């Protein structure tokens, strides 16, 4: 009698574990996603006004999901400091709560966010320093800190990015610059982890002219998916899934000095 | 870099325009000063002011608060910025001056009988313009840049040792890297602030342009 109860309990636990494993998000690790963007920068004295359009092909299927329009600019109160304020209209952003079961109870899947537009407001400060004591002399270290407020679910986060750039100068002007950076996002009021997304990042800019610049970058992104509200509301055990993928991006930046 | 070297290999900016030499006074004089201005001849310096004669072989120097305008043969005006030293090598059919430090604005008032030459750095440049600016830029790895900007006319810049040549049109500037290597002329934003005025009646003659602006500001790059 006792043995059969234990066996039944074990089978129930195993079934529950299997159901849990079947229903948590599965991260297609190791895939390559592609991003393209173009930006217009208008420089007037201490102000840089910017407009940027970005699109990204995501997931294993490389479906066009993320798209964003960013408007804003930087003010340079000091030679070694820029502060920025930006507004971004974006769509296709996958949030933790997009893991839903509809209709309940099965199947669980990511709901389509490509048609959902979100308003994002950002404020940042980025001190930067010329490291002319390094070989080549034209090194710049920058530390960018950015506060991000997304009106969708009132999510708030902090982005921190230390960045080292080497400028390859020809005739005293940059021809290429090479960047190495690490970017980390700290959620303030959502998720269940200290960092929900982070990635090392390598990039290069080719300065075709002072007005036109091409950008190539490669990063290895890791995002932590935490339990969605619906998942928890239905009494499921919390989960954390790490989604890692490569991201290759290409950009063209136009600069005007009216 | 010693003075003899830059003199021997200097940037040469010359104008060859025709006018009867009989109408010209073959001498020079300072016609306007601000702050400290001196004229040196044979190691002897004297304070200079409006009316001070300037002869071949003399050097006009401005201090950190100084500014001077020189008239050469009633045909050319040269405005010296602060901390500038200009040697008057010759006045006459082949007027020649040499920029040792700092920067100058040159304005050809009327046609010359012979030629006008301005030497600076290690490059030779021929100028067909009537109004241009020449100044030394940064010294990087012991090589001193020369910047040139044309306001009116056309400048023919060349480096004899490398046979490089380039024409710089009005409104554009050029950096002669290390005084030796020509770059492509551009409309540089920093040149917009140059004060070409040489007439006190027309307003201030002071020029506050910093050539640091002519160099890429590596701390300004931020695109995301």
Q: What is the pLDDT of residues A95-146, one digit of tens each?
A: 999 999 877 667 899 999 999 999 999 999 999 999 999 998 899 999 999 9
User: Are B166 and B185 within 8 A, CB to CB?
Assistant: yes
Which residues are CB-neighbours of A256 under 8 A, at least 6 positions away?
A: A40, A41, A42, A43, A211
Tell me the two tokens of residue A6.
Answer: 């234990």
Which one has a higher pLDDT value, B1 or A207?
Answer: A207
Contacts of A41 in chain B (CB under 8 A): 223
Question: B6 falls in which pLDDT band (50, 70, 90)?
Answer: very low
- Measured in angstroms, the CA of B64 and the nearest CA of chain A are apart by 24
Q: At which residue do the structure tokens 């290429």 appear? A: A176
Average pLDDT, chain B: 81
Q: Does the pLDDT of residue A9 top 90, yes or no? A: no
Q: Which residues in chain B (89-128) have CB-CB distances under 8 A to chain A?
A: none
Residue B197 belongs to a domain: no
Strands B67-72 and B164-169, sheet pairing: unpaired
- Measured in angstroms, the CA of B189 and the nearest CA of chain A are apart by 8
The whole-angstrom separation of Cα B73 and Cα B8 is 25
Distances (CA, A) of A121 to A43, A64, A86: 22, 23, 6
Kindly determine whether residue A130 and residue B218, on different chains, have CB atoms separated by under 8 Å.
yes
Q: Which residues in chain B (38-77) have CB-CB distances under 8 A to chain A?
A: none
The whole-angstrom separation of Cα A134 and Cα A136 is 6
Q: Which residues in chain B (172-211) have CB-CB distances under 8 A to chain A?
A: 175, 177, 181, 183, 186, 189
Sign (positive/negative) of CA torsion A227, A161, A199, A203? positive
Q: pLDDT digits over B167-188, tens only?
A: 889 999 999 888 888 898 988 8
Residue B40 domain boundaries: 3-190
The whole-angstrom separation of Cα B68 and Cα B151 is 20
Residue B83 belongs to a domain: yes
Residue B207 belongs to a domain: no
Contacts of A205 in chain B (CB under 8 A): 221
Q: Does the pLDDT of residue A51 top 90, yes or no? A: yes
User: Are A33 and A57 within 8 A, CB to CB?
Assistant: yes
Q: At which residue do the structure tokens 């940042």 appear? A: A124
Binding-site residues on chain A for chain B (CB distance < 8 A): 39, 41, 43, 48, 50, 52, 74, 76, 79-80, 82, 84, 126, 128-130, 138, 140, 142, 165, 167, 169, 171-174, 177, 205, 210, 213, 215, 253, 257
Kindly determine whether residue A174 and residue B181, on different chains, have CB atoms separated by under 8 Å.
no
Length of chain B: 224
Residue B6's Cα: distance from chain center in Å? 14
The whole-angstrom separation of Cα B179 and Cα B4 is 15
* Section B141-150 average pLDDT: 88
Question: What is the predicted ipTM?
Answer: 0.84
Residue B222 belongs to a domain: no
Q: Does B33 touch chain A (CB under 8 A)?
A: no
Which one has a higher pLDDT value, B157 or A77?
Answer: A77
Contacts of A43 in chain B (CB under 8 A): 220
Q: In the prediction, which pLDDT does B124 show? A: 56
Kindly determine whether residue B186 and residue A210, on different chains, have CB atoms separated by under 8 Å.
yes
Q: In the prediction, which pLDDT does A13 show? A: 53
Which one has a higher pLDDT value, B51 or A8?
Answer: B51
Residue B220 belongs to a domain: no
Among B48, B139, B38, CA closest to B84: B38
Kindly determine whether residue A174 and residue B216, on different chains, have CB atoms separated by under 8 Å.
yes
The whole-angstrom separation of Cα A208 and Cα A204 is 12
For domain A31-256, the question of CATH label 2.40.160 is answered with: yes
* Section A149-166 average pLDDT: 96
Please give the tally of structural domains in chain B: 1
Strands B181-182 and B173-177, sheet pairing: antiparallel
Of B138, B140, B222, which is closest to A74 when you measure between CB atoms? B222
Q: In the prediction, which pLDDT does A232 show? A: 92
> What is residue B220's three-state secondary structure?
helix
Which one has a higher pLDDT value, B63 or B123?
Answer: B63
The whole-angstrom separation of Cα B48 and Cα B61 is 9
DSSP secondary structure, A122-155, as one string: EEEEEEEEE-TTSTTS-EEEEEEEEEEEETGGGE
Say how many CB pairs under 8 Å bridge A and B.
54
Tell me the two tokens of residue B113.
Answer: 């009988």
Q: In the prediction, which pLDDT does B17 show? A: 37
| A53 beta partners | A38, A69
User: Are A41 and A254 within 8 A, CB to CB?
Assistant: yes
The whole-angstrom separation of Cα B152 and Cα B89 is 25
* Section A166-182 average pLDDT: 94
Residue B217 belongs to a domain: no
Q: In the prediction, which pLDDT does B18 show? A: 34
Find the range with the poorest average confidence among A195-204, B21-30, B91-100.
B21-30
């Amino acid at each position: 009698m006792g043995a059969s109860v234990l066996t039944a309990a074990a089978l129930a636990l195993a079934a529950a574990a299997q159901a849990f494993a079947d229903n948590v998000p599965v991260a297609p690790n190791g895939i390559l996603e592609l991003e393209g963007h173009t930006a217009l920068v208008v420089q007037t004295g201490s102000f840089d006004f910017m407009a940027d359009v970005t699109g990204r092909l995501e997931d294993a299927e490389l479906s066009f999901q993320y798209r964003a329009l960013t408007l804003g600019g930087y003010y340079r109160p000091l030679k070694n400091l820029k502060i920025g304020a930006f507004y971004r209209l974006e769509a296709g952003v996958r949030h933790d709560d997009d893991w839903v079961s509809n209709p309940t109870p099965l199947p669980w899947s990511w709901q389509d966010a490509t048609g959902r537009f979100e308003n994002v407001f950002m404020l940042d400060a980025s001190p930067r320093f010329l490291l002319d004591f390094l070989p080549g002399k034209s090194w710049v270290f920058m530390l960018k800190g950015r506060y991000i407020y997304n009106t969708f679910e009132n999510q708030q986060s902090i982005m921190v990015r230390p960045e080292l750039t080497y400028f390859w100068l020809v005739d005293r002007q940059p021809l290429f610059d090479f960047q190495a950076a690490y970017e980390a996002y700290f959620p303030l009021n959502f998720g269940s982890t200290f960092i929900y997304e982070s990635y090392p990042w390598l990039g290069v800019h080719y300065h075709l002219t002072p007005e036109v610049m091409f950008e190539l970058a490669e990063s290895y992104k890791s995002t932590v998916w935490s339990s969605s509200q619906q998942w928890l509301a239905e009494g499921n055990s919390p989960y954390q899934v790490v989604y890692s993928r490569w991201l290759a991006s290409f950009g063209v930046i136009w600069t005007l000095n009216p | 870099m010693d003075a003899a070297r830059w003199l021997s290999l200097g940037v040469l900016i010359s104008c060859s325009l025709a006018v009867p030499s009989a109408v010209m006074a073959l001498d020079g004089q300072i016609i306007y000063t601000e702050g400290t201005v001196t004229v040196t001849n044979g190691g002897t310096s004297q304070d200079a002011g409006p009316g001070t004669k300037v002869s071949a072989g003399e050097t006009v120097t401005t201090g950190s608060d100084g500014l001077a305008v020189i008239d050469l043969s009633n045909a050319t005006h040269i405005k010296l910025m602060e901390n500038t030293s200009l040697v008057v090598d010759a006045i006459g059919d082949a007027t020649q001056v040499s920029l040792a430090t700092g920067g100058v604005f040159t304005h050809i008032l009327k046609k010359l009988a012979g030629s006008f030459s301005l030497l600076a750095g290690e490059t030779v440049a021929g100028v067909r313009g009537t109004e241009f600016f020449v100044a030394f830029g940064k010294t990087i790895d012991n090589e001193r840049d020369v910047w040139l900007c044309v306001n009116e006319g056309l400048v023919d810049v060349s480096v004899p040792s490398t046979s490089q040549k380039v024409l710089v049109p009005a409104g554009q500037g050029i950096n002669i890297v290390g005084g030796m290597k020509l770059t492509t002329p551009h409309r540089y934003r920093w040149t917009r602030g140059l004060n070409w005025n040489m007439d006190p009646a027309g307003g201030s003659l002071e020029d506050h342009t910093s050539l640091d602006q002519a160099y890429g500001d590596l701390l300004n790059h931020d695109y995301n």
